[in-house]
Structure 1
Amino acid sequence: MTTLDLTGRTAIITGASRGIGLATAEAIAAAGGNVVLTSRSQESADAAAAQVGRGALGIAAHATDAEAARRCVESTLETFGSIDILVNNAGTNPAYGPVIDQDHARFAKTFDVNLWAPILWTSLAVEAWMGDNGGSVVNMASIGGLGFEPNLGLYNASKAALIHLTKQMALELSPKIRVNAIAPGVVRTKLAAALWQEHEEQLTATTASGRIGEPGDIASAIVFLASDAASWVTGETMVIDGGQRLGDASEFRREVTARV
């Protein structure tokens, strides 16, 4: 049987100073892997790496800074000798409101971080190691990329494009490199705070699993996709949303209660 053992493997995780990125670093380390955590500042990267502990290295590298990304890849190889896993986790959403109300600056930042950065980091990882040795790439998408909702159209468009790009890269980089994506629902992170902070109780009541997501829920799925247990999985987008895409679960619960 294949396992989730990542002993001897090294992962780079972008945007890993908090939230899903940090939880992923902790989960990969717990599975035996080495982890490189990136953040915009060296201080926050070092703090995150210290929280993970042994086998963790923090490196300052903004997701869209090509030179910083290249230095990070080089430092990873110098320190650990391989890049077996790449988690393109860094994301942003400066654009809120109808699509036609957004300016080019917000558009550019959203697509640069959410779409271009995964291309940049994947190309560097492939050039430096994965192209010859194989590996696993996991892109952080969103259930927003699978549907429509008010005020988040630009962000969701970037995630829809990332889902498409995941399939494209899975074909282009086959057979040595597997490329998959995770599409989280509403998770307790700072980036998603506007979606849950003021109405968590209401959201919990309408979610089939009865709670919003935690960073660890997503991290567990990433460890699976990075491991040999997912060796025949590529080009897929795994939805981890507690049933949020199913719709309002509260109506069903009332019906079941009434029958009982």
Structure 2
Amino acid sequence: MSKVFIVTGASRGLGLAIAQSLVQASHKVFLVARTEKDLQALKTQHPSSVDFMTADLADLKVAPAVIQSALKAFHKIDGIVINHGVLAPITRIFEADAEEWRRAYDINVFSAVALVKEAIPELRKSKGRIVIVSSGAAFGAYAGWGSYGTSKAAVTHFCAHIAVEEPSITSVAISPGKLDTDMQKAIRDDGKSSMSPKVYESFVDEHKNGLLLDPKTPGNVIAKLVDGATSDLNGKYFRWNATELASFQEA
């Protein structure tokens, strides 16, 4: 039976891969991102299965409109993937601008709180699922990555709190690994001056040697999780290729 999912940050990279995987599984997907062109392209390919809204999710007032627009398009919500996020600013704390950190937290943390809060009534009805895209940076410190790492730690722990408060909704935080996306390009382009040389060079080398993941690989896992994550995973964090998720990694 066809389900309805919201996917944020869905215009490119991992979000687009997740959305495509869900559509291929005959589900309906409501996309949210700032860029209309790529969203419209997917809707044109799948007019009955895809709808979208362009929005800057850092504006916390748009969260109710996202949920209402998804309901208007498809009449229910079975799951939501919180995928949007920013790495910037890549700066050391001594050189940081606190307002840039505030902007990063608005995007990476507070927009997730706003969206989840608005989605909870519908997800209670469907006994639905929430997948939050986390990062290994939530558990390890890298010079220059303070705003990103701490915001991902916050949103990962937010997942655990949802699970405690909303046990009928299955919530999971997933690290998708190092992907061949624009975020990795930003690290290579902007990270050199603030990151430690060894860590920076490791990112450059992984790209040069073709070791970055195709977003479709973890994207397929995340799509399966928002569709069918089991209650034993509720509130927990996993890497996308964790042994606990073996059944979701099958082709």
TM-score range, shorter chain: 0.7 to 0.9
Aligned residues of 1:13 and 1:35 also touching (Cα < 8 A) = yes
In structure 1, the gaps of 5 or more residues are 1-6, 243-260
Pairwise CA distance, 1:231: 4.2
* Structure 2 counterpart of 1:219: 219
Q: Specify the code of the residue in structure 1 equivalent to 2:143.
A: P
Q: Secondary structure at the match of 2:233?
A: coil
Q: 1:65 to 1:138 in 2, by over 3 A?
A: same
Q: Specify the code of the residue in structure 2 equivalent to 1:202.
A: D
Pairwise CA distance, 1:67: 3.7
What percentage of aligned pairs have identical amino acids? 26
For each residue in 1:65-85, what CA deviation from the matched residue of structure 2 results, as whole angstroms up to 9, or x when unmatched?
334332221121122111111
Residue 151 of structure 2 is aligned to residue 158 of structure 1? yes
* Structure 2 counterpart of 1:250: none
Aligned residues of 2:18 and 2:219 also touching (Cα < 8 A) = yes
Aligned residues of 2:79 and 2:227 also touching (Cα < 8 A) = no
Residue 88 of structure 2 is aligned to residue 85 of structure 1? no
The structure with more radius of gyration: 1
- TM score, norm. by length of structure 1: 0.80
**What is the total number of aligned residue pairs between the two structures?**
231
Pairwise CA distance, 1:108: 0.7
Q: 1:133 to 1:52 in 2, by over 3 A?
A: same
Pairwise CA distance, 1:92: 1.0
Within 5 Å, give how 1:72-111 maps onto structure 2: 72-111=66-105
Q: Could you tell me how far apart the structure 2 residues matched to 1:241 and 1:196 are?
A: 25
Identify which of 189, 214, 221 aligns with 2:181.
189
Aligned residues of 1:20 and 1:215 also touching (Cα < 8 A) = yes
Structure 1 stretch displaced more, 221-230 or 96-105:
221-230
Aligned residues of 2:60 and 2:110 also touching (Cα < 8 A) = no
Q: Could you tell me how far apart the structure 1 residues matched to 2:57 and 2:118 are?
A: 12
Q: Secondary structure at the match of 1:95?
A: coil
Aligned residues of 2:19 and 2:223 also touching (Cα < 8 A) = no
Q: Specify the code of the residue in structure 2 equivalent to 1:39.
A: A
For each residue in 1:90-124, what CA deviation from the matched residue of structure 2 results, as whole angstroms up to 9, or x when unmatched?
10122112123211221111111101111111011
Within 5 Å, give how 1:196-235 maps onto structure 2: 202-203=205-206, 211-228=211-228, 230-235=230-235
* Structure 2 counterpart of 1:239: 239
Residue 74 of structure 2 is aligned to residue 58 of structure 1? no
In structure 2, the gaps of 5 or more residues are 190-200, 243-251
Q: Specify the code of the residue in structure 2 equivalent to 1:141.
A: S
Pairwise CA distance, 1:230: 2.9
Structure 1 stretch displaced more, 226-235 or 69-78:
226-235
Pairwise CA distance, 1:50: 3.0
Q: Secondary structure at the match of 1:212?
A: coil
- TM score, norm. by length of structure 2: 0.83
RMSD: 2.4
Q: Could you tell me how far apart the structure 2 residues matched to 1:228 and 1:119 are?
A: 22
Q: Which runs of 4+ in 1 moved over 2 A?
A: 41-45, 47-54, 64-69, 194-202, 227-232
* Structure 2 counterpart of 1:49: 43
